[in-house]
């Protein structure tokens, strides 16, 4: 599923994030745009529009929104602009000014999160997934990805969370606290239901904080369940797959074998 298609949900979860944007503080905004700001719109950039209009890209209630200032500078229209052929003239501007920067920010946050590597650090493709040790679909995706990981084409980065069962957090903590987390994760996933992974009875404060941060990030990204898989498409845009992918989606996520 493309990120653009999920952005109303995703952006709603990110309303408190600081997003690097095209700052307009040095430009005196017209009164109608200021009025929109007063109603909660966050102006992140401007763009040229037909018909003498001037476009402003904004976030409002967590969603991308376009505002069009009329030529007299006294009124603003809000919504998508269509041409005579019915083509959407707004989407590309919101993609550039709102969605693309957001995707980069989210990718950077995942890079800084508490993940366990699975595969070569020199692999040309990186895929993040939020993973619960008790999630059978996480195990399924782990198995699906073996040909790519073992060939050195993909590195999976498991952002561990503990949400499915009472002992999930303890098991996730056990993996994060292991002397060698990657082999520990490999053994756990390879064993499947027969895994002997024991949850930590007491989770160290540092590990607990990592789990809390990972869950906060998962919620911020609008992910509802595990595995929540995030990757960059061929155009470098952030995409999400919820749940174990079908063969077609698997090829999009992991690339050619």
- Residue 3: which pLDDT band, with cuts at 50, 70 and 90? very low
Question: What pLDDT, in 10s, does the model give residues 14-25?
Answer: 433 333 344 455
Rounded to whole angstroms, how far apart are CA atoms 231 and 245? 13
Residues in contact with 252: Cβ distance below 8 Å, sequence separation at least 6, in sequence order: 233, 239, 245
Q: What is the pLDDT of residue 8?
A: 40
Q: Copy the structure tokens of residue 138.
A: 């996480």
Number of domains within the chain:
2
Q: Copy the structure tokens of residue 107.
A: 């990718």
CA dihedral 240, 243, 247, 249 (to 10 degrees): -10
Rounded to whole angstroms, how far apart are CA atoms 6 and 235? 17
Question: What pLDDT, in 10s, does the model give residues 95-141?
Answer: 889 778 878 889 999 999 989 999 999 999 999 999 999 999 999 99
Question: Exposure of 23 by Cβ count < 10 A (0-12 exposed, 13-18 middle, 19+ buried)?
Answer: exposed
Q: Is the pLDDT of residue 1 over 80?
A: no
Q: What is the mean pLDDT of residues 195-220?
A: 96
Contact between 238 and 106 (Cβ < 8 Å): yes
Q: What is the pLDDT of residue 62?
A: 57
* 133 plus 146 within the same structural domain: yes
Question: What pLDDT, in 10s, does the model give residues 149-188?
Answer: 999 999 999 999 999 999 999 999 999 999 999 999 999 9
- Domain end point (choices 54, 80, 109): 109
Q: What is the pLDDT of residue 102?
A: 79
* 55 plus 136 within the same structural domain: no
Q: Is the pLDDT of residue 217 over 90?
A: yes
* 39 plus 73 within the same structural domain: yes
Residue span of the structural domain in which 178 resides: 113-254
Question: What pLDDT, in 10s, does the model give residues 33-91?
Answer: 999 999 999 999 999 999 999 999 998 865 789 999 999 999 999 999 999 999 999 99
pTM of the model: 0.74
Q: Tell how far CA 47 is from the center of its chain.
A: 25
Strand runs labelled E in 53-178: 54-60, 63-69, 76-78, 115-118, 125-131, 154-160
Q: What is the pLDDT of residue 13?
A: 38
* 104 plus 118 within the same structural domain: no
Q: What is the pLDDT of residue 24?
A: 53
Whichever domain contains 142, its CATH number is 3.40.30.10
């Amino acid at each position: 599923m493309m990120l653009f298609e999920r952005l109303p949900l995703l952006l709603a979860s990110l309303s408190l994030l600081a997003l690097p944007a095209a700052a307009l503080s040095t430009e005196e905004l017209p009164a109608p745009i200021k009025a929109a700001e007063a109603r909660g719109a966050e102006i992140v950039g401007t763009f040229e529009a037909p018909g003498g209009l001037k476009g402003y890209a904004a976030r409002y209630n967590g969603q991308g929104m376009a505002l069009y200032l009329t030529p007299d500078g006294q009124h603003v229209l809000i919504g998508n602009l269509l041409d005579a052929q019915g083509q959407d003239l707004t989407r590309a501007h919101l993609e550039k000014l709102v969605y693309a920067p957001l995707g980069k920010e989210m990718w950077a946050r995942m890079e800084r999160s508490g993940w366990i590597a699975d595969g070569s650090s020199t692999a040309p493709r990186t895929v993040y997934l939020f993973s619960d040790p008790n999630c059978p679909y996480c195990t399924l995706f782990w198995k699906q990805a073996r040909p790519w990981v073992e060939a050195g084409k993909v590195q999976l980065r498991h952002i561990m969370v503990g949400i499915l069962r009472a002992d999930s957090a303890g098991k996730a903590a056990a993996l994060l606290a292991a002397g060698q987390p990657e082999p520990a994760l490999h053994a756990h996933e390879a064993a499947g239901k027969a895994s002997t992974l024991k949850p930590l009875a007491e989770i160290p404060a540092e590990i607990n904080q990592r789990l809390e941060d990972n869950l906060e990030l998962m919620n911020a990204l609008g992910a509802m369940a595990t595995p929540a898989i995030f990757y960059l498409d061929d155009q470098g845009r952030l995409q999400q797959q919820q749940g174990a992918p079908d063969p077609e989606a698997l090829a999009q996520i992991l690339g050619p074998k």
